[in-house]
């Protein structure tokens, strides 16, 4: 920050009158203050993205970037507040699931005609990535990744339970088999089979969603009818609760606690996103860490088809910026720079969005990459809705009620259905 401030001040003094364009940039991913400008060596989402931003600020002629607060907690609240206050950041990151809301109200700039001029080739994007930034007939952002839920595995614990064959973990193919595996692991090691954040952030929700999709069901249909209170919903939830009931998993751990349990070797499998692959890889290399044999797997198929929760991060420009041509061009250049560094961002563990990057040797050489190749093809999400955030919140609350407070599954599902329906009806 200090350096950006100093360099920003210097830049304004030195080039005042010439043409330094200062851009504000909004993002989450957390803070990394000493990220530097080396995009090849940084580790973890926060530091990798910040190093890319710092490099962009340094390398793009006449553009300096001022990064706004980076916390997750209030990101969209603050982003909306800044839009409504007329001071949105000039460039900002967001999720695919927010596109209907932001683009729908005319908040985002449509950029399809201006991509090639700054060197972005949209035909190089994968189909899912292009779909992620498209709304109606326009393109409203530059995709950065596809991120999905994975199973992160402690191979030492699995080995002890006899759940490793040919160096690969043996994963369940049905809910019943999962329970058998979990019991086996508990007997052999005394540890829990599976952990995830079931208590705070909606990682547990994403797991249940995947299990519903695996039964060809969904929480609501494209025409806006809630369909949570179904047999598939019940089965999906019971798949998870059977582990809690048998005390083979602990629903009370939040994000940090579940991660700590995994790194401490107290749980064999952690359900978490692609974003932690590089972090756990470096932890596994650390001798002091209890996790030494780390493996990544696609979310296994427990029902009739494969599916895992997925979303995309993308970069967008607010529509008001378009009226300032110089600023708009500068913002596009930043988008192009980030697009150019897709391989660096993929180092986090996220799936790249450019076909040329996906096909590259450098990408294939990233650690554990070969272990979750199927994820791209089973990636799913709920149908688009302007109420995405509120719907996730309903599901998170009702599911927590089931596993944290013993609310009957039927009651929770029918409550959730009513609430989601009233959200969809708005």
Partner 1 sequence: MITRRYVWLVTLVSIPAFLWLVPTIWMVSLSFQPNEVLARTTSSTALGLVPIPFTLQNYADLFAYGQTPLWFLNSVIVAVGMTLGVLLVSTTAGYALARLNFPLKRTILAICLIGLMVPEQAVFIPLYSMFADLGWHNSYHALIIPRMAVPIGVFLMMQFFKGIPRDIEEAARIDGIGWLQVFWHIMLPLARPAMMTLAILTFLYAWNDYLWPLVSAQKLEYFTITLGLASIQSNFAQSEGLGRVMASGVIASLPVVIMFIIFQRYVVQAMTVGGSKG
Partner 2 sequence: MVQPNSTKRGSLSENQAAFLLLLPFLTVYALFLVYPFFRGIWISLHDWNLLEVAFNPAAKQFVGLSNYERVMWGRNIEWSLFSSPLAQLLGVIALLAAAWFAMRLQLSRVTAIALAIFGILLIVAPGFHPGPEGRWFSPRFWPTVGNTLLFVAWAVPGVTLSALVLAAALDRETRAMGILRTLFFISQVLSVTVVTLIWQIMFSPRQGLIANITEFFGGSPVVWLTDERFAMAAIVIATVWWSLGIAMILFLAGLQDISKDLKEAAELDSAIGVRAFWYITLPNLKRTITLVIVLQIILHFQVFGQSHLMTNGGPNDTTQVLVRYIYQTAFRDSELGRASAMAVFLFVIMGAFSILQFVIGREED
Rounded to the nearest angstrom, the gap between the alpha carbon of residue 232 and the centroid of all alpha carbons in its chain is: 25
Residue 167: CA atoms inside 13 Å, Cβ hemisphere, count?
2
Q: Which of residues 249-268 bind partner 1 (CB under 8 A)?
A: 255-256, 259
Stretch that binds partner 2, among 21-29, 147-155, 218-226, 256-264 (CB under 8 A): 256-264
The answer to whether 31 contacts partner 2 (rule: CB under 8 A) is no
Q: What share of the chain is helix, strand, coil (3-state, %, to 5)?
A: 50, 15, 35
Q: Scanning the structure block, which residue is given the tokens 């060197």?
A: 119
Which listed residue (4, 24, 37, 200) binds partner 2 by CB under 8 A? 200
Left if phi > 0, otherwise alpha if psi is -120 to 50, otherwise beta: which for 196?
A: beta
11, 23, 25, 47: residue in contact with partner 1 (rule CB under 8 A): 47
Q: Say whether residue 138 binds partner 1 (CB under 8 A).
A: no
| Environment class of 229 (CB within 10 Å of its CB; exposed 0-12, middle 13-18, buried 19+) | buried
Q: Which of residues 270-329 bind partner 2 (CB under 8 A)?
A: 319
Task: Tell me the window of 82-90, 154-162, 231-239, 292-300 that interacts with partner 2 (CB under 8 A).
Answer: 82-90
Buried b (16+ CB within 10 A) or exposed e, 306-340: bbbbbbbbbbbbbbbbbeeeebbebbbbbbbbbbb
Chosen residue from 32, 111, 268, 394 binding partner 1 by CB under 8 A: 32
| By the rule CB under 8 A, 411 interacts with partner 2 | no
Residues paired with 240 in a beta bridge: none
Binding status of residue 72 toward partner 1 by CB under 8 A: yes
86 sits near partner 1 (criterion: CB under 8 A): yes
Dihedral over Cα of 107, 112, 118, 122: its sign: positive
Q: Measured from the CB of residue 253, what is the shortest distance to partner 1 in angstroms? A: 12
In terms of CB distance, is 366 or 418 closer to partner 2?
418
Nearest 5°: the CA angle 209, 382, 235 is 25
Residue holding tokens 């340094």?
58
226: tokens are 């809630």
Segment interacting with partner 2, rule: CB under 8 A, options 36-44, 69-77, 349-357, 372-380: 69-77
CB of 405 to partner 2, least distance (A): 4
CA distance to 90, 104, 131, 320, per residue, from 324 (Å): 11, 22, 28, 8
Three-state DSSP class for residue 96? helix
- Site for partner 1 contains 74 (CB under 8 A): yes
- Work out whether 105 is an interface residue with partner 1 (CB under 8 A): no
Given 11, 20, 23, 46, the residue binding partner 1 (CB under 8 A): 46
Rounded Cα gap, residues 140 and 182, in angstroms: 44
Residue 282: contacted member of partner 1, partner 2, none (CB under 5 to 8 Å, by partner type): none
Residues of this chain that bind partner 1 (CB under 8 A)? 1-2, 5, 24, 30-34, 44-47, 66-74, 78-79, 81-82, 84-87, 255-256, 259, 288
Residues of this chain that bind partner 2 (CB under 8 A)? 73-74, 76-78, 80-81, 83-86, 101-102, 105-107, 199-200, 252-254, 256-257, 260-261, 319, 387, 389-390, 397-398, 400-401, 404-405, 407, 415, 418-419, 422
């Amino acid at each position: 920050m200090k350096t950006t401030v100093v360099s920003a001040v210097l830049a304004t003094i030195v080039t005042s009158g010439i043409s330094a364009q200062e851009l504000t940039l909004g993002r989450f991913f957390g803070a990394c203050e000493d990220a530097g400008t080396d995009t090849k060596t940084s580790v973890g989402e926060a530091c990798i993205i910040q190093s890319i931003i710092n490099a962009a600020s340094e390398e793009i002629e006449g553009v300096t970037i001022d990064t706004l607060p980076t916390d997750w907690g209030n990101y969209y609240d603050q982003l909306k507040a800044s839009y409504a206050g007329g001071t949105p950041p000039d460039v900002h990151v967001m999720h695919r699931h927010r596109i209907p809301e932001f683009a729908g109200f005319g908040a985002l700039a449509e950029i399809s005609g201006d991509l090639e001029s700054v060197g972005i080739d949209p035909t190089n994007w994968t189909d899912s990535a292009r779909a992620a930034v498209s709304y109606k007939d326009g393109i409203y952002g530059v995709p950065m990744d596809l991120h999905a839920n994975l199973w992160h595995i402690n191979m030492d614990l699995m080995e002890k339970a006899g759940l490793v064959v040919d160096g690969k973990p043996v994963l369940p193919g049905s809910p019943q088999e999962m329970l058998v595996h979990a019991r086996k692991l508990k007997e052999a090691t005394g540890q829990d089979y599976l952990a995830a954040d079931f208590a705070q952030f909606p990682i547990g929700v994403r797991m249940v969603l995947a299990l519903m999709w695996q039964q060809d069901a969904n929480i609501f249909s494209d025409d806006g009818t809630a369909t949570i209170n179904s047999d598939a919903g019940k089965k999906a939830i019971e798949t998870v609760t059977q582990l809690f009931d048998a005390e083979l998993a602990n629903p009370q751990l939040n994000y940090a606690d579940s991660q700590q349990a995994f790194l401490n070797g107290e749980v064999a499998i952690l359900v978490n996103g692609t974003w932690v692959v590089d972090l756990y890889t470096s932890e596994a290399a650390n001798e002091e860490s209890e996790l030494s044999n780390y493996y990544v797997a696609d979310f296994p198929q427990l029902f009739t088809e494969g599916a895992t929760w997925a979303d995309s991060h993308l970069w967008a420009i607010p529509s008001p910026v378009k009226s300032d041509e110089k600023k708009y061009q500068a913002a596009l250049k930043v988008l192009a720079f980030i697009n150019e560094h897709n391989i660096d961002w993929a180092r986090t563990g996220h799936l790249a969005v450019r076909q040329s990057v996906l096909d590259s040797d450098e990408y294939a050489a990233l650690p554990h990459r070969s272990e979750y190749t199927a994820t791209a093809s089973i990636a799913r999400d709920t149908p688009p809705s302007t109420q995405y955030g509120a719907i996730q919140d309903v599901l998170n609350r009702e599911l927590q009620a089931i596993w944290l407070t013993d609310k009957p599954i039927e009651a929770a599902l029918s409550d959730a259905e009513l609430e989601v329906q009233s959200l969809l009806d708005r």
